Amino acid sequence: MSEQNLGEDVDRALLRLTIIPMLPSLQIGRYIARYPIIQGAMAVRIAGASLAAAVANAGGIGLIASFGIGLNSDPDRRNRQFFAANRLALIEELQQARQLSPDGIVGVNILVAARDYPQMAETAAEHGANLIVTGAGLPLDLPQYTQNYPDVALVPSVATVAAAQTLCETWHQQYQRLPDALILENCKSIGGHFASQCEENTVDPIDTTIAQLRHYLSQRFGVTIPIIISGGIWDRGDIDRAISIGADGVQIGTRFITTEECGADLRYKEFHLQAHHHKLVTVPSPVGKPARAMRNQFAENALADSPTLEKRCIASCLESCLCRDNRQTYCLLQALDRAARGDIDRGLIFSGGAVKPIDRILPVSELMTSLTQRT
Ligand SMILES: Cc1cc2nc3c(=O)[nH]c(=O)nc-3n(C[C@H](O)[C@H](O)[C@H](O)COP(=O)(O)O)c2cc1C
């Protein structure tokens, strides 16, 4: 599979690119971000309070990744109760983010595929998340967990119009509401898990999908909902292109790894300084979807299904897991956690298709300036 910025479909849109002098703001629910940029959640603890708060302070929307967040807790707490440790760690992280960014927009990302998804959604809403973004699955019952917190904006990620339709019809019928925004996964470039259909090349170009989504929302419900493209955004030119094909904003993950505030070990960040899209591979994952990652020893082992690949489940964290249930692939939580702690050979290093080599690790404020200002 070719790994390109936003895919060939957006390259076509280049032809009708208009330079956007000033980026528009982005309203999601009752929150208005100065810039249409959401920082993508990155587990495990790569995107924590410090990164989310820095992005929020710079005028974007910061997200704390909740998957496996308790893995840094003191071992006593963690070993006794993994899910309780996750919940406590999320509360602490939200409190810290709020201290660092009292007025910024800070949300939490929750994996629908995680066993503690309902508990984490309730906890995020109760402890002050401005929005909840979901990944890895359709959150058909999410409004149920946040019903006492109407100010919390709900932002599911979808890969296709069909998925968005299933979600909107269910929410409309069961909860008389719609999402506050939709993250549209650009599966040709997104870092981490992506839709399996992408490998078969049966997905529509992203600009077509945006147009179809807008048409469905306005014809069926008479509404306009912000649509955020996720995957393949690296610089200001990519943001302009996304907006020129009809997106209201972008979600950016990989680009934020090489920042001072990113929670990963320095070795992980330094590995990304030399990253290049030619080094990307698609590895199988225990959630049953393909995942985009950097080529390293771990990825080679995963691709070859090497006997050296450890298949020990460390926390039974996923609702359905090929590692725990079928002894296939590897433990996702352990693989991501190892990488984030700096074990570059034995960890899984998710990365997006727009990745390019860069010369240094920057403060978020500097990166946000380069993403938002025209020079
Ligand atoms: C290291 C890494 C970890 C990620 N972890 C999560 C996660 O926990 N939850 C989620 O919904 N998406 C996760 N993603 C996807 C990002 O939130 C975001 O959608 C993606 O990085 C956007 O593509 P880009 O990396 O090309 O900017 C992860 C991506 C990366 C690179």
Give distance in angstroms: CA of 220 to centre of ligand 1.
Answer: 31
Closest CA to 225 of 179, 173, 174, 164: 179
Sequence-separated (6 or more) residues with CB below 8 Å from residue 301: 308, 309
pLDDT confidence of 10, banded at 50, 70, 90? very low
pLDDT score, position 74: 63
Instruction: Give the C-alpha separation, 73 to 91, whole Å.
Output: 12
Token pair of 237 as six digits: 């030119």
In testing the pocket of ligand 1, which one of 190, 268, 272, 289 has its CB within 8 Å of the most ligand atoms?
A: 190
In testing the pocket of ligand 1, which one of 350, 351, 358, 367 has its CB within 8 Å of the most ligand atoms?
A: 350
Shortest-distance atom of ligand 1 to CA 40: 17
Lowest mean pLDDT among 123-132, 196-205, 215-224, 258-267: 196-205
b/e map of 62-90 (b: 16 or more CB within 10 Å)? bbbbbbbbbbbbeeeebeeebbebbbbbb
Please return the burial class of 135, using the count of CB atoms within 10 Å of its CB with bins 0-12, 13-18 and 19+: buried
pLDDT of 184 higher than 90:
yes
Instruction: Give the C-alpha separation, 107 to 93, whole Å.
Output: 11
Strand ranges in the chain using DSSP code E only, listed in sequence order: 26-28, 31-33, 37-39, 61-65, 105-111, 131-135, 153-155, 157-158, 182-185, 192-193, 227-230, 249-252, 280-284, 290-294
Give distance in angstroms: CA of 42 to centre of ligand 1.
Answer: 5
pLDDT of 21 higher than 90:
no
User: Parallel, antiparallel, or unpaired for β 182-185 and 157-158?
Assistant: parallel
Instruction: Give the C-alpha separation, 113 to 321, whole Å.
Output: 9
Give distance in angstroms: CA of 194 to centre of ligand 1.
Answer: 10
Selected residue with higher pLDDT from 311 and 178: 178
Question: Domain limits of the chain?
Answer: 7-263+362-372, 267-340
**Closest residue CA from atom 5 of ligand 1:** 42
Sequence-separated (6 or more) residues with CB below 8 Å from residue 373: 236
Give distance in angstroms: CA of 190 to centre of ligand 1.
Answer: 7
In testing the pocket of ligand 1, which one of 6, 38, 42, 117 has its CB within 8 Å of the most ligand atoms?
A: 42
The arithmetic mean of pLDDT across residues 151-170, rounded, is: 97
Between helix 332-340 and helix 297-304 the angle, nearest 10°, is 160
Give distance in angstroms: CA of 40 to centre of ligand 1.
Answer: 5
pLDDT of 1 higher than 50:
no
Shortest-distance atom of ligand 1 to CA 183: 19
pLDDT score, position 73: 67
pTM: 0.93
Shortest-distance atom of ligand 1 to CA 339: 1
**Closest residue CA from atom 21 of ligand 1:** 253
pLDDT score, position 322: 93
pLDDT of 7 higher than 90:
no
Ligand 1 pocket: which residues have CB below 6 Å?
A: 40-43, 46, 65, 67, 109, 111, 135-136, 189-192, 230-233, 251-255, 350-352, 354
**Closest residue CA from atom 3 of ligand 1:** 42
Give distance in angstroms: CA of 213 to centre of ligand 1.
Answer: 22
Give distance in angstroms: CA of 83 to centre of ligand 1.
Answer: 22
Shortest-distance atom of ligand 1 to CA 355: 26
Instruction: Give the C-alpha separation, 257 to 280, whole Å.
Output: 16
pLDDT tens digits, one per residue of 112-155: 999 999 999 999 999 999 999 999 899 999 999 999 999 999 99
Sequence-separated (6 or more) residues with CB below 8 Å from residue 173: none
Q: What is the CATH number of domain 7-263+362-372?
A: 3.20.20.70
Residue count (the chain):
375
pLDDT score, position 262: 98
Lowest mean pLDDT among 9-23, 31-45, 182-196, 357-371: 9-23
b/e map of 167-178 (b: 16 or more CB within 10 Å)? bbeebeeebeeb
pLDDT tens digits, one per residue of 71-109: 876 655 555 588 989 999 999 999 999 999 999 999 999
The percentage of the chain sitting over the pLDDT mark of 90, rounded to a whole number, equals 81
In which residue are the tokens 């302070």 written? 57
Contact 185, 195 (CB under 8 A): yes
Shortest-distance atom of ligand 1 to CA 66: 8
Instruction: Give the C-alpha separation, 112 to 141, whole Å.
Output: 10
Token pair of 82 as six digits: 């993994």
Selected residue with higher pLDDT from 197 and 202: 197
3-state secondary structure of 269: helix
Instruction: Give the C-alpha separation, 317 to 82, whole Å.
Output: 8
Give distance in angstroms: CA of 219 to centre of ligand 1.
Answer: 31
In which residue are the tokens 């030619």 written? 278
Cα four-point dihedral sign 233, 239, 240, 242 = positive
